[in-house]
Amino acid sequence: MSHDVSSRVMSGAEGSMATPIWKGRLTFIMAASGSAVGLGNIWKFPYVTGENGGGAFFLVYLFCVVGFGIPLLMAEIGIGRATRKNALDAYGDLSQRAGRHSAWRWTGGVAILTSFLVLSFYTVVAGWCLYYFWLTVTGEFSAADRITQSFTSQTFDHLLSAPTLLIIFGSLFLLATYMIVRAGIQGGIEKAINWLMPMLLVVLLILVGYSISHGSFSEAAKFLFFPDFSKLSLNAILVAIGHAFFTLSLASGSMVTYGAYMPSHASIPKTAIMVAVIDTLVALAAGLAIFPLVMEYGLAPNAGPGLIFMSLPLVFGHIPFGQIFGAAFFFMLFIAALTTSISLMEPSVAWLEQKSRLSRTQAATVIVALLWLLSTAAALSFNLWNAPVFADRTLFDALDGLTANIMMPLGGLATALFCGFCLKGTQLRDMFGDSPIIKPFRISVRCIVPCFIVIMIIASL
Ligand code: TRP
């Protein structure tokens, strides 16, 4: 693999290998937004917004994004870029330079493990998307009289009960991710992202146009945007905190690792804001692509697999050009999942490549083999191995719960404390420039993030 020498820079410590850098700020923005925009934006955000008070919930969510999402995003990108290393060494290096305990590096180590575990079950769900793309393309959902609610739920149940289908489509998805990550930062991820992200946005806009013209826009807009403050319960606020965290891909090493490849001249605060704005706009657009159709057909708006794999195929089975737009929808979902999974595989591959004598290809191969084993085991928890492995949960649910409820909140808290109390002022200025944002950033990582995460952890217990 040959990298353009002029675009390589030496990383801080002597003797360490040069880290490849992306061509421009735009590539970084697309890669980081690609990580952030995923299944969470499409199947979760629209629903939780509508369900928890529409516009009122959206205001709380925006507060969370501004109050701690963007600051944590800045922190992670900054930690990566300041060191140009894998997440473990990035935290390690910075704590050493600040004269602090080297144990801080485990914040990065746990983050790498988090991305690995998230990818193992994300692969399973992404495999479902790929399978549904296949079903729509081959016309499985296009004979209107056959497509009933029981047909679509049987189709989904059949998938979940078939180990071979789950393994085949999960493996195909993992293979696609592997091919891209293996080819490196510039030759693989940058090239792929430059194609995939524009494609994702174009398909999404076409779907929004189609949905607005064929569905009931006013009902969907009311569900999504009408501010109903009576629905804004304490639980709704917790959902907003959790979702802001999840949707920005925080505390999993992805943003630290991508930050290591960010060009030195790009402004981190501005870039972090752009990523959060794109992520939020895509989530709103996803709502406008889905709900007008779902409501036009009198179906209840719900969240998760039920919405995507049962309600939508039903709609696509009955609507004009449903086969084409259904295929476009599942293709979009596949791309969204792929750009996310790339960012989930990169932290462990970068770590292994830098810490061992393995080449990039070898490191990626070792990681993907381990991921394949774990994701296959997670897939089997829907059928052959449908048994509790931990605290009454199947392996799939345990991986989800462990990462979302424990590892990510604690990782976010550690990163905030690291930036708030461990790094020196000069280190922060090196990261962000002499920006007026440093003061509010400090307030956020010292007070707002810890408060919110402690509330979240207490509530989840
Ligand atoms: N942000 C992704 C989504 O909205 C999911 C996600 C959660 C994620 N945590 C992550 C992605 C960590 C990458 C890294 O679907």
Q: For residues 162 and 160, give the distance between their C-alpha atoms in angstroms, rounded to a whole number.
A: 6
List the one residue out of 311, 302, 345 whose CA is nearest residue 329. Answer: 311
Is pLDDT of 391 > 90?
no
Quick one: pLDDT at residue 15? 34
Residues 6+ apart with CB under 8 A from 227: 53, 54, 55, 56, 58, 59
User: Does the Cβ of 36 fall within 6 Å of ligand 1?
Assistant: yes
Quick one: pLDDT at residue 6? 36
Residues 6+ apart with CB under 8 A from 39: 122, 125, 126, 129, 333, 336, 337, 340
- Please say whether the beta carbons of 372 and 86 come within 8 A: no
Quick one: pLDDT at residue 107? 97
Q: Which residue has the higher pLDDT, 83 or 43?
A: 83
Return the residue whose CA atom lies nearest to atom 6 of ligand 1.
Answer: 249
| Averaged pLDDT for residues 121-135 | 96
- Please say whether the beta carbons of 118 and 134 come within 8 A: no
> Which pLDDT band holds residue 239 (cuts at 50, 70, 90)?
confident
Q: Which of 246, 254, 308 to probe ligand 1 with, by most ligand atoms within 8 A of CB? A: 246
Lowest-pLDDT range of 2-6, 282-286, 330-334, 450-454? 2-6
> Which pLDDT band holds residue 290 (cuts at 50, 70, 90)?
very high
| Averaged pLDDT for residues 53-57 | 90
pTM of the predicted structure, to 2 decimals: 0.93
Q: What share of the chain is helix, strand, coil (3-state, %, to 5)?
A: 80, 0, 20
Quick one: pLDDT at residue 433? 87
Q: For residues 75 and 296, give the distance between their C-alpha atoms in angstroms, rounded to a whole number.
A: 43
Give the rounded percent of residues in the chain with a pLDDT score beyond 90.
75
Cα dihedral 18, 255, 373, 42 sign? negative
Is pLDDT of 16 > 70?
no
| Averaged pLDDT for residues 247-272 | 95
> Which pLDDT band holds residue 13 (cuts at 50, 70, 90)?
very low
Is pLDDT of 411 > 70?
yes
- Please say whether the beta carbons of 80 and 257 come within 8 A: yes
Q: For residues 269 and 90, give the distance between their C-alpha atoms in angstroms, rounded to a whole number.
A: 19
Quick one: pLDDT at residue 229? 92
Q: Which residue has the higher pLDDT, 372 or 46?
A: 372
C-beta atoms surrounding 297 within 10 Å: 17
Quick one: pLDDT at residue 279? 97
Distance in Å, CA 282 to ligand 1 centroid: 14
Is pLDDT of 146 > 90?
no
Q: How far is CA 255 from the centre of its chain?
A: 10
Return the residue whose CA atom lies nearest to atom 13 of ligand 1.
Answer: 249
Q: Which of 33, 35, 403 to probe ligand 1 with, by most ligand atoms within 8 A of CB? A: 35
Q: Give CA separation, 428 vs 275, 419, 421, in Å.
A: 20, 8, 11
> Which pLDDT band holds residue 18 (cuts at 50, 70, 90)?
confident
Structure-token pair, residue 295:
């409501």
> Which pLDDT band holds residue 3 (cuts at 50, 70, 90)?
very low
Return the residue whose CA atom lies nearest to atom 11 of ligand 1.
Answer: 249
Is pLDDT of 452 > 50?
yes
Q: Which residues of 431-460 are buried (b: 16+ CB within 10 A; e: fewer)?
A: bbeebebbebbbebbeebbbebbeebeeee
| Averaged pLDDT for residues 259-270 | 95
| Averaged pLDDT for residues 218-231 | 91
CA angle at 13 for the pair 7 and 14, rounded to the nearest 5°: 90
User: Does the Cβ of 35 fall within 6 Å of ligand 1?
Assistant: yes
Structure-token pair, residue 316:
């696509």
User: Does the Cβ of 246 fall within 6 Å of ligand 1?
Assistant: yes
Q: Which residue has the higher pLDDT, 260 or 460?
A: 260
Return the residue whose CA atom lies nearest to atom 8 of ligand 1.
Answer: 249
- Please say whether the beta carbons of 238 and 461 come within 8 A: no
User: Does the Cβ of 348 fall within 6 Å of ligand 1?
Assistant: no
Angle between helices 163-182 and 360-380 (to 10 degrees): 160
Q: For residues 205 and 413, give the distance between their C-alpha atoms in angstroms, rounded to a whole number.
A: 36
Quick one: pLDDT at residue 299? 87
Q: Which residue has the higher pLDDT, 34 or 387?
A: 34
Quick one: pLDDT at residue 17? 60
> Which pLDDT band holds residue 12 (cuts at 50, 70, 90)?
very low
Cα dihedral 14, 15, 16, 17 sign? positive
Q: For residues 334 and 332, give the distance between their C-alpha atoms in angstroms, rounded to a whole number.
A: 5
Rg of the chain taking only CA atoms, in angstroms: 22
List the one residue out of 404, 420, 416, 397 whose CA is nearest residue 456. Answer: 404
| Encoded amino acid at 383, one letter | N
Mean of all residue pLDDT scores within the chain: 91
| Averaged pLDDT for residues 166-176 | 98
Structure-token pair, residue 244:
């802001």
Q: Which residue has the higher pLDDT, 237 or 93?
A: 93
CA angle at 23 for the pair 22 and 27, rounded to the nearest 5°: 70
Q: For residues 142 and 144, give the distance between their C-alpha atoms in angstroms, rounded to a whole number.
A: 6
